[in-house]
Amino acid sequence: MPRIEKTLPNLYRDSVALMQLSARIEGYPGVTRATAVMATQANIDLLKEAKLIGPDLSPRPNDLLIVIEGRDDAAVAGALKQTEEALQQASRIPVDASTGPAAMPATSLEMALEDKPGANFALISTPGEYAAAEAEKALRLGLNTMVFSANVALDDEIALKQMARERNLLMMGPDCGTAIVNGVPLGFANALQRGPVGLVGSAGTGLQEVTCLLDRAGVGVSQALGCGARDLSAEVGALSMLQGLAALAGDASTRVVVLVAKHPAMEVARRIGKEAAQIDKPTVLTFLGLDLGDIASRNIFVAGTLDGAARIAAALALGQQPPGPAGLDPALAAMARENARRLGEHQRYIRALYSGGTFCYEAQVLLVQEAGPIWSNTPIETAHALPDIWKSREHTLIDLGDEVFTRGRPHPMIDLRLRLERLRQEFDDPQTAVILLDVVLGYGAHPNPGAEIASAIAAARANRPQDGHDVIVVASVCGTQADPQTLSQQEEMLRQAGVLLAPSNAAAARLAAKIVDASPNRAGLA
């Protein structure tokens, strides 16, 4: 199959733009495979593995490498020409002699600050190896900072957080995917009403779930501060969460505080609990996977799930008595029993395909109790690490946002292809009973996930043997009416496709467990 390779020197584009470009090239007539990447060592290795380039290419990180494979030479040459034209169009910056220095695009934080001296926030999403340096520059320039990038060295994270504390600046991250500051969405975040609940979280989709559920209950958010995934480790010691907690304690608009984390280190969690007890605002601790014992007190409330945290915080905000933990809604339980009748005797397992890592984690914690051993690529216990992440085994919960799946690919919240291929694979497995999905809306996410998922389900269903049985798809949609995708429209599309909707991730997991429990072979009671 003819293949062409071209390097464009000193032409830099960010990773998302390049993946969009790759997808576009693959759409040109006669193209079978195509990729556009910066010629870093890591990308070159990826392309060699994929047998898209030969062994001899040396890395030139500021050069753009295009590889196109197609059905014949003409198709490949034509595609390359179209690609180069597209790149040229995009980079044409008009030279206007009459405008001042601001006509030149800023190429660094300091340069941008010269043009916009009132700027007060830096959002950094460069490749990980450059992010720490950019964050330090931002802090030195007096900017509150969020680092979306992952793969930042632990020592650098600690140093940056200490520097931020010394300078009285926010430092959210690294590996912080979600924040909402002063009502402005940063990273992956939802459109929310402003209100009295302030949140701090090291779990991005955790923050999204709690804020969306609050929004649905008519309760608004003052601030949702991210910490970065590693903040509550023993080494980092929750520097960001403690700083965020103090900030919310002093914020007049915040009346209720919610803290969200995935399995923090025990001593760090205790320290946070102690700090929270000192502030005079009711605080909900949501430390998934960690049993804090009897830490609850006059103003400390403990939630075991994200939806529980939202229920408690909403009640506190509305001046009501906070509810205790809830099980599966009876209406959903009835729905489970009714739908379980569609399953055949071989269908026994739950296959969950998550885009949000926190959702995968929360579901595992619940399903281990309710359905038995759970296999995963991000398992709660290492004994149940999936031997082959590309092939499910018994009950399997996959985090598609984990690095093993996202290397060289866009995040599953943006691009559904990998997830929907896996969905088809699970549909075709005769042992699959329930497929469990999270659908995350909001800024930064896919513009219409419901439509793509519905379409994939229809195609998968059509391909199943017509044996009178079915695979049951369960989903929860994390989003709001005001989100660009509009919550109700997404839910309707999924319902039309026969998806059973639950109001939260925890409810969806419990619903899935209930279905297999009620199924003809009752695999859930293993």
Partner 1 sequence: MTQLFSLPLKVLNVGVRSFAESVAAVGAEATQIEWRPPVDGQVNAGHALARLINESRIEEANRSALAAFLDAQPVLEDVRSARDLIPGLAADRLILHAGPPVAWERMCGPMQGAIIGAILFEEWAVSPEDAARLAASGRVAFAPCHHHDAVGPMAGIISPSMPVWSVTNAAGHNRALSGLNEGLGKVLRFGAYNAEVLKRLRWMAAVLGPALSKAVKAAGGIELKPLMAQSLHMGDELHNRNTAGSSLLLKKLLPGLLQSGAPLDAIADVARFIAGNDHFFLNVSMAACKAMLDAAHGVRHSSLVTAMARNGVEFGIRMSGTGDAWFTAPAPIVDGLYFPGYGPADAAPDLGDSAITETAGLGGFAMAAAPAIVQFVGGTPADAEANTRRMRRISLGVNPAFTIPALGFAGSPVGIDARKVVDRGISPVMNTGIAHHTAGVGQVGAGISHAPVACFAQAIEALAQTIPGRVLDGV
3-state secondary structure of 56: coil
> What one-character-per-residue DSSP string does 235-259 give?
TTTTHHHHHHHHHHHT-TT--EEEE
Task: Rule CB under 8 A: say whether 177 interacts with partner 1.
Answer: no
CA distance 29 to 58: 30
Q: Which of 85, 73, 56, 68 is nearest to 28 (CA)?
A: 68
Of 223, 347, 432, 519, which lies in the binding site for partner 1, with binding defined by CB under 8 A?
223
* Sole binder of partner 1 in the list 30, 127, 408, 503 (CB under 8 A): 127
Q: Provide the sign of the torsion angle of the four alpha carbons 372, 375, 379, 384, taken in this order.
A: positive
With CB under 8 A as the rule, give the number of residues binding partner 1.
80
Q: Are residues 43 and 54 in contact, defined by beta-carbon separation less than 8 angstroms?
A: no
Interacting residue with partner 1 among 23, 57, 141, 217 (CB under 8 A): 141
Amino acid identity at 121: F
| Closest CB to partner 1 among residues 98, 466 | 98
* Segment contacting partner 1 by CB under 8 A, of 177-185, 273-281, 397-405, 491-499: 177-185
Is 253 a binding residue for partner 1 by CB under 8 A? The answer is yes
Query: Min. distance of Cβ 101 from partner 1 in angstroms?
Result: 6
- Quick one: 36 or 123, whose CB is closer to partner 1? 123
Q: Which one of 114-122, 260-268, 297-305, 397-405 is the stretch in contact with partner 1 (CB under 8 A)? A: 114-122
For residue 255, the minimal CB distance to partner 1 (Å) is: 14
Site string for partner 1, 57-76 (x = CB under 8 A): --xxxx--------------
Under a CB-based contact definition with an 8 Å cutoff, are residues 176 and 147 in contact? yes
Question: Is the CA virtual torsion 228, 233, 236, 242 positive or negative?
Answer: positive
Nearby residues of 190 by Cβ (< 8 Å), 6 or more positions away: 180, 208, 211, 212, 215, 441, 442, 443, 478, 479, 480, 482, 483
Q: Does 16 help bind partner 1 (rule: CB under 8 A)?
A: yes
Contact with partner 1 (CB under 8 A): which of 108, 455, 481, 488? 108
Strands (E), 53-136: 60-70, 121-124
Q: Is 385 in the site for partner 1 (CB under 8 A)?
A: no
Which span (140-148, 262-270, 309-317, 324-332) binds partner 1, by CB under 8 A? 140-148
Give the residue, chosen from 24, 33, 48, 137, that forms a contact with partner 1 under the rule CB under 8 A.
137
- The Cα 243–Cα 227 span in angstroms is 9
Q: Residue 19 is inside which H or E element, if any?
A: helix 15-26
Task: Verify binding: residue 7, partner 1, rule CB under 8 A.
Answer: no
DSSP secondary structure of 290-340 = ----S---SSEEE-SSHHHHHHHHHHHHTT-PPP------HHHHHHHHHHH
- Nearest residue (CB) to partner 1, 263 versus 409: 409
- Which of 140, 391 has the CB closer to partner 1? 140
Choosing from 156, 402, 470, 517, the residue that interacts with partner 1 (CB under 8 A) is 156
Return the residues of window 430-459 that contact partner 1 according to CB under 8 A: 443-444
Rounded CA-CA distance 359/259 in Å is 16
Q: Per the structure block, which two tokens stand in for 399?
A: 């985090």
Residue 110 engages partner 1 in binding (rule: CB under 8 A): yes
Nearest approach, Cβ of 139 to partner 1 (angstroms)?
9
Q: Which is nearer to partner 1, 144 or 305 (CB)?
A: 144
Calculate ∠ Cα 104-110-115, nearest 5°.
45
If one asks whether residue 256 binds partner 1 (CB under 8 A), the answer comes out as: no
- Which residue has tokens 């905000």? 317
Taking CB under 8 A as the criterion, the residue among 155, 291, 403, 421 binding partner 1 is 155
Measured CA to CA, the distance from residue 336 to residue 244 in angstroms comes to 41
Q: Which of 115, 329, 370, 402 binds partner 1 (CB under 8 A)?
A: 115
Q: Is 195 in the site for partner 1 (CB under 8 A)?
A: no
Which of 184, 234, 266, 334: binder of partner 1 (CB under 8 A)? 184
Give whichever of 143 and 199 is closer to partner 1, judged by the CB atom: 143
